[in-house]
Amino acid sequence: MFKALILDQQDKKTTAEIRQIDESLLPEGEVLIAVDYSSLNYKDGLAITGKGRIVRQFPMVPGIDLAGSVIESTDSRYQAGDNVVLTGWGVGEGHWGGMAEKARLKADWLVPQPQGISSKQTMMVGTAGLTAMLCVQALVDAGVKPESGEILVTGASGGVGSAAVTLLAQLGYKVAAVTGRAQENGPLLKTLGAQSIIERSEFEQPARALEKQLWAGAVDTVGSKVLAKVLAQMDYNGAVAACGLAGGFDLPTTVMPFILRGVKLLGVDSVACPYQKRVDAWDRLVELLPQSFYQQACREVGLEQAAECAEAITLGQVTGRTVIKL
């Protein structure tokens, strides 16, 4: 028996309850894992609260991330005692996830725990940090250099945004951070490396087809009106790495930024990211993230606090990363 957070539905409403579960109930997979840590992402918040149509079947153990050690494996790539990390692949949505003391997963979904980082630190990074690294790499691959100009990060106080701010600053970029709580979050974001803080309300007004050119590149976690505004303000040949929809999945924009300024809109996905690209991104994260990031932008809670934190993250009240100790 082991402890797990179980999501179920009653009268079309999602319920979240900690239960003792028998190992035999775990779904199929080649690798059985003792989970050390999971983490709380925006998608987890939507799943646990029922505010988003995330969970595809009930009952479900949420948690799109986990880190732990192998108990047993029928796949030759992993042996008992190996430390492993899981992010994405629909875990916590269609396959029981990380908010439990044990998980059984497909070997193809795992990566070895990177050298030079603990299991707790991998969850301080988690899907959010991995996504941020993929966004930053997309901008680099698009030719956006530190000398190109200022980089904008929207949703900067969230998990992806705070990691992106840190990574960009470590690489020498000048970063402008957009947040809905500028007065509250500004000091932390400046500590992480942001040179200027912008109130989110400035990006929530409808965008003109083209506006003043301000940004050489951008990482957008919000979507909708905010992304439309960002696109209208991009420099000629600028690039935007888009990875989130915290503000909505619509995009009320025009083709003008693309055909008159050559702006590139780069879609970034971390859920089904190929194995080698994941491993390379993790190695780069370990190299770039300073120890201060883990101390400043992360906090730890127990499984008992997961539901409360899930509600808070959907309301935009969580800054940085939240790890869940199992």
* Domain boundaries defined on the chain: 2-113+290-325, 127-267
For the stretch 254-306, pLDDT in tens is: 999 999 999 999 999 999 999 999 999 999 999 999 998 898 878 999 999 99
The pairing of strands 31-40 and 321-325 is: antiparallel
* d(C-alpha 7, C-alpha 208), whole Å: 43
Question: Once rounded to an integer, what is the mean pLDDT over residues 132-154?
Answer: 98
Identify which has the larger pLDDT, 39 or 185. Answer: 39
* d(C-alpha 64, C-alpha 123), whole Å: 11
* d(C-alpha 84, C-alpha 67), whole Å: 6
CA 290 to mean position of chain CA atoms: 18
Q: Of 194, 227, 232, which is closest to residue 213 (Cα–Cα)?
A: 232
Would you say the C-alpha torsion 27, 29, 34, 36 has a positive or negative sign? negative
Predicted confidence at residue 324, as pLDDT, reads: 97
For the stretch 39-54, pLDDT in tens is: 999 999 999 999 988 9
Q: What percentage of the chain exceeds 90 in pLDDT?
A: 89
Predicted confidence at residue 317, as pLDDT, reads: 87
- 14: pLDDT strictly greater than 90: yes
The CA-atom distances, in angstroms, between 131 and each of 37, 98, 121, 281 are 19, 18, 16, 9
Topology of domain 2-113+290-325, CATH: Quinone Oxidoreductase; Chain A, domain 1 (3.90.180)
Token digits of residue 227: 């992304």
- 200: pLDDT strictly greater than 90: yes
Length of the chain: 326
For the stretch 75-121, pLDDT in tens is: 999 999 999 999 999 999 999 999 999 999 999 999 999 999 999 99
Predicted confidence at residue 215, as pLDDT, reads: 98
The pairing of strands 321-325 and 234-242 is: unpaired
Three-state secondary structure readout of 207-262 = CCCCCCCCEEEEEECCCHHHHHHHHHCEEEEEEEEECCCCCCCCCCCCCHHHHHCC
Predicted confidence at residue 68, as pLDDT, reads: 98
- 181: pLDDT strictly greater than 90: no
* d(C-alpha 161, C-alpha 168), whole Å: 10
Token pair 């590149």 is found at 217
Predicted confidence at residue 303, as pLDDT, reads: 96
Q: What percentage of the chain exceeds 70 in pLDDT?
A: 100
Sheet holding 175-179, edge to edge: 196-199, 175-179, 151-153, 215-220, 234-242, 264-267
Predicted confidence at residue 164, as pLDDT, reads: 97
Write down the architecture of domain 127-267 according to CATH: 3-Layer(aba) Sandwich (3.40)
Q: Of 173, 101, 90, which is closest to residue 137 (Cα–Cα)?
A: 173
Token digits of residue 220: 């957008």
Provide the mean pLDDT of the chain: 95
Question: Once rounded to an integer, what is the mean pLDDT over residues 306-314?
Answer: 94
Question: Once rounded to an integer, what is the mean pLDDT over residues 182-190?
Answer: 89
In this prediction the pTM is 0.92
Over the range 186-223, which residues count as b (16 or more CB within 10 Å of their CB) and which as e?
bebbbebbbeebbebeebeeebeebeebbbbbbbbbbb
* d(C-alpha 321, C-alpha 126), whole Å: 9
